[in-house]
A and B are shown apart, each in its own frame.
Chain A
């Protein structure tokens, strides 16, 4: 029973020059739920996510996290707050093993000297623990280079990497885009487990079937506007498709408000 949303975006707006990427978008995610973010190409999904992740700054509007107003200026500030983003292809270095990838940028070292030795044993132990706690159990060894893993395993590693750092909100950018049936299953189960552990999860996807399987609520963006946030239990795929392709806009860019209605 989470009364206050963990993340709350209130009327956020983002412009790139003359292009209005987001117009007064309201969006929120509560702890323990999966919110899917859907919309056609160019609807503003990525812009919204990047704003939350600190890659862009919103021009207008307010972001509240954990009840407090925040301004997220960089990815580092986002992760300090407990926001982690899992990008589609950009998460892992193929040549490094699972442990090295999970700790990339945050390696444990034995001392604070400039050329201190990394504490491989404790990193490996923590990685194994995290993977086990997420029931990611199909790995032969955490010392294999990630290039040798299947797509589903790689995505699981990327997710595990994100949740290892006491994150509160995990944002997944099309986690199942390149996966087969069994591997999609594996990742969706993992997404569900994250929410069941009390994390807030935002999920970008084009696959409505996947979304109806894991999401609690479905937020639909169209041309930079939030068409609406639907409860999964009281909607169907048709309604969502309609919202994505023909949802009513409050204001159409370039038209006076009166002409739209």
Chain B
């Protein structure tokens, strides 16, 4: 005789969300999600493994501690700008000015540190970030007030801000950064012990938030992730964190910039995932009219998002200036903007709004920087091919996204 089914059939569906899921059912549901096309960041991780294998086979220097630290420094500028781009894309808009706006921040700091101003570094940065807030607010306000598409407004902005940079620096000129603190942003490394402490704090923070969610959901009688799953996730994160700190400690140590990127990731992910502001950004990206009718102040949110975008561009610009030690008239140009947008998209943020995570910025930036870095290690490799390969990776990312979305629709997951 089989076990009696005590739950009446019509109520079992909703009760299912309240009962404790066993490890097995949770795991098979996860597999089902992946097979249904909800692949998350799986392709990026596989892509990175593939890139690592290819470049390591071409040049054994690719996976050395020195080069991995280099990779973190190399991706930092793009990743920071891409953080902001993710927010704009989530809203269903785009910011084409991020490249030159980042240069405005870089050049402002560089000039304000030099004679005749010679301001302390924190005041120079404060002025630069105030300018970033104003620029973002201006883009958002023009888009909203005149009901213009954001790509036109930010394209105009891009041209105008490139002119501002050129005006400040002068054609063919360069502003050198001598300030040790601003330079030190990208030249500072934590001693091994501090690296380990950061690593432990990070793992503890992750485990704590997971367990807090677990216990509050449990207390409210809601379905929870099986505790074993939380343990495995924490384990994987620990291995990765310990691995990275160990590798960095073999070289110069954990880069300050890397920790800054991580801190920004945590803060921005919290805003996107846990606050009303974040919820409204996703809602507007998904269905602007539904958000409006639910009482969301769509215009205000749009202006805030453009401000976030410009501020993050500013962070990226200052990181890039710090790395180079100078700002030239060409700063912010070239492939910087496109790489930043590509990073967000390669990482899995949709160009059509409402879907994506802040972490996609850092994953995408890692892919782009590792292609750049890896091809640079192959002697005599033409940079023309580098652009073509980056372009193909972007195309592949968008295609994977499109296919996974289609199979999600088929399997009824999305």
Contact (Cβ within 8 A) B279 A118? yes
* B80, CB-defined interface residue at 8 Å: no
Question: A105 vs B296: C-alpha distance in the bound complex, in angstroms?
Answer: 6
The chain A residue with its CB closest to the CB of B412 is: A148
B294 at the interface (CB under 8 A from A): yes
Contact with B along A92-135 (1 / 0, CB 8 A): 11111000110011110100000111100110110010011001
Closest chain B residue, CB of each to CB of A107: B276
Residues of B within 8 A of A100 (CB): 279, 282-283
In angstroms, Cα B220 to Cα A20, docked, is 54
Interface status of A228 (Cβ within 8 A of chain B):
no
Interface assignment of A137: CB less than 8 Å from any CB of chain B:
yes
> How far is A97 from B259 in the complex, measured between Cα atoms in Å?
32
Contacting residues, chain A, for B217 (C-beta < 8 A) = 121, 124
Which residues of chain A are near B277, meaning CB under 8 Å?
115
Q: In the bound complex, do residue A122 and residue B220 qualify as a contact, i.e. CB atoms below 8 Å apart?
A: yes
From A96, A105, A138, A139, contact of B282 by CB (8 A)? A96
Min C-beta distance of A217 to chain B, whole Å: 27
B287 / chain A contacts, CB cutoff of 8 Å: 90, 92-95
Q: B270 to chain A: which residues have CB within 8 Å?
A: 115, 117
Classify the secondary structure of A's interface with B: loop
Interface stretch (choices B13-21, B239-247, B386-394): B13-21
Number of B interface residues at 8 Å Cβ cutoff, please give it: 40
Say yes or no: B282 contacts A93, CB within 8 Å.
Answer: yes
| Contact B222 A121, beta carbon cutoff 8 Å | yes
Q: Is B17 within 8 A of A128, CB to CB?
A: yes
- B290 contacts A115, CB within 8 Å? no
Cβ proximity bits B290-318 to A, threshold 8 Å, 1 near / 0 not: 11011110000000000000000000000
Closest partner residue, chain B, to A55 (CB atom): B293
Residues B352-366 near A (CB distance < 8 A):
354-355
CB of A94 within 8 A of CB of B286, answer yes
Which of B13, B271, B286, B414 contacts A139, CB < 8 Å? B13
**Interchain CB contact under 8 A, B290 and A92:** yes
Given A94-B286, A104-B290, A124-B220, does the pair A141, B17 have CB atoms closer than 8 Å?
yes
A70 within 8 A of B: no
Residues of the A chain whose Cβ atoms lie less than 8 Å from the Cβ of B5? none
Q: Which residues, 131 to 183 on A, are CB-close (under 8 Å) to B?
A: 131-132, 135-145, 147-148
B279 / chain A contacts, CB cutoff of 8 Å:
96, 100, 104, 107, 118
With an 8 A cutoff between CB atoms, is B157 at the interface? no
Q: Is the CB of A93 within 8 A of B14?
A: no
Interface centre among B11, B219, B274 (most CB of A within 10 A): B274
A75 pairs with B295, CB closer than 8 A? yes
The digit string for A59-102, where 1 denotes a CB below 8 A from any CB of B, is: 00000000000000001100000000001001111111000110
Is residue B413 within 8 Å, beta carbon to beta carbon, of the partner chain? yes
Q: How far is the CB of A86 from chain B (nearest CB, A)?
A: 10
The reply on B275 being an interface residue by CB < 8 A is yes
Answer yes or no: B28 CB below 8 A from chain A CBs.
Answer: no
A145: which B residues are within 8 A, CB to CB?
A: 413-414
Encoded as 1 (CB less than 8 Å from any A CB) or 0, chain B from 3 to 35 comes to 000000011111011100000000000000000
Q: Are A93 and B354 in contact (CB under 8 A)?
A: yes
B278 nearest CB across to chain A (Å): 9
B296 closest partner in A (C-beta): A105
Chain A residue with Cβ nearest B292: A90
Chain A residue, CB-CB nearest to B408:
A148
A125 CB contact (under 8 Å) in B222, B295, B408: B222
* CA distance in complex: A200, B293 (Å): 21
Query: In the docked arrangement, what's the CA distance between A117 and B213, Å?
Result: 12
* B contact residues around A105 at 8 Å (CB): 291, 294-296
> 11 A-B Cβ contacts within 8 A?
A76-B295, A93-B286, A104-B283, A106-B295, A107-B279, A115-B275, A118-B275, A121-B216, A124-B220, A128-B18, A139-B13
What 8 A-B pairs have minimum CB-CB distances, sorted nearest first? A105-B294, A93-B286, A95-B286, A95-B354, A105-B295, A93-B287, A104-B294, A121-B220
20 further interface pairs, Cβ-Cβ under 8 Å (given A91-B293, A117-B275, A132-B14) = A90-B287, A90-B289, A93-B282, A93-B283, A93-B287, A95-B282, A96-B282, A104-B279, A104-B283, A107-B276, A115-B270, A117-B274, A122-B220, A131-B14, A135-B10, A137-B14, A139-B17, A140-B13, A145-B413, A145-B414
Interface residues of chain A, those whose CB is within 8 Å of chain B, are: 75-76, 87, 90-96, 100-101, 104-107, 109, 115-118, 121-122, 124-125, 128, 131-132, 135-145, 147-148
